[in-house]
Structure 1
Amino acid sequence: MDELQTEYERMYSPGEVALHIEIERQTVTKYARLFENNGYNFHKDEKGNRLYSDTNVLMFKDLINKRNKPGMTLEAAAKSLTDIYKSKSVTDTVSNDSDEKANYAAIMEKLESLEEKFNEQKEFNKNLVLELQASEKRTKTLINNKVESMQQSLSEHDRIRQEQLEKDLERYRLAAPEIEEEAAEEVAATTEQPPKKEKKGWMDKLWPFS
């Protein structure tokens, strides 16, 4: 396609293509790489970001339709369509006009790949945090149940001990009069002294019947 036709074709960002075809933005990048692996060149801005023409949008639609045919893989579909659309590319002479641009494009592709991996890791971390939170919640529940069970056990032990003390006090109260009486008798028995005999003088000894 010549320069004149290029001017009449609108260029789209990956997000606009994804919205138009109703696929994910990452899927647009994936399709673009498949075509590039087969020698197709997409238009890129001064920063090396891919831009897609109306022709590219049709190319992606054809790829989806062709992929859905029985026995057709995505790679095979991309390869068969590359030769058809390569002659319609608006950037055959634009993409690789210098080594600097080629290196820049490789860097941008690497960054896109890193971004995808970052998003995957971010999602993994999010799920991991949720799992840890759920585990922490289960652990707290187990601890609370254990503490509650111990408290109930201690309360029951205290109740039984209190009942036993009350029974012991009642038995002591009933037996107290008898114990006091026996104690008093024992005290009295130990304090009684036999009566002292009066000593007789020598006169009494001489006349005991006086």
Structure 2
Amino acid sequence: MSRSNRERTEATKQALIDAARILFVRDGYAETATPDIVQTAGVTRGALYHHFEDKKALFRAVVEQEAEAVVRAIEERSSPSGSAYDRLLAGAAAYFDAMAVAGRTRLLLLDGPAVLGVQAIGAIDGEYAEASLREGLAEFLAEAGGSDALLPQLTTLLSAAFDRAALAIEAGGSRRDYEQAVGTLIAGLGGDHLLR
């Protein structure tokens, strides 16, 4: 395949993902029809099924792109300086910024689990944002002199807390209060009773 064909193929695929994102956010997964996606993308129905098995596969591609964007936003804000605790707080702030992008909480936290299933969305999260959180949490526990024996479980629980906070913030909750609460949760993981 020539470079120009490859570029056209990628452009078509991205046009489908972009169009689907707009419609999934606006109308929801169930109410979005594939003819509307191809019309919005300006491509043929055949192009859709050339790149994606079905609407669900296209939705998964949208979700994965959103999850990757969240991780990029966190990595762009991460700094190797400061304590592990400070880096975790900076990561939390970056996460809340990334989740403030219109439609992202719906795609990743509401429709994602409903359409793809909890296990599939958990695997996507594990590959993206949760992986970054696990790394930061491991550094924090090591810096605090603690054991990482429960690192997978602590990561899952803290990730769920971040997600619930993002939903609450989108619903009008005070971001400042949720950031303080996340800081309190993280600091609590450094307590002697959890580190033995």
TM above 0.5, yes or no, is: no
The structure with the larger Rg is 1
The one of the two structures with greater contact order (alpha-carbon pairs below 8 A, sep at least 6) is 2
Output the TM-score relative to the length of structure 1.
0.23
Output the TM-score relative to the length of structure 2.
0.25
- Decide which structure has greater helix share: 2
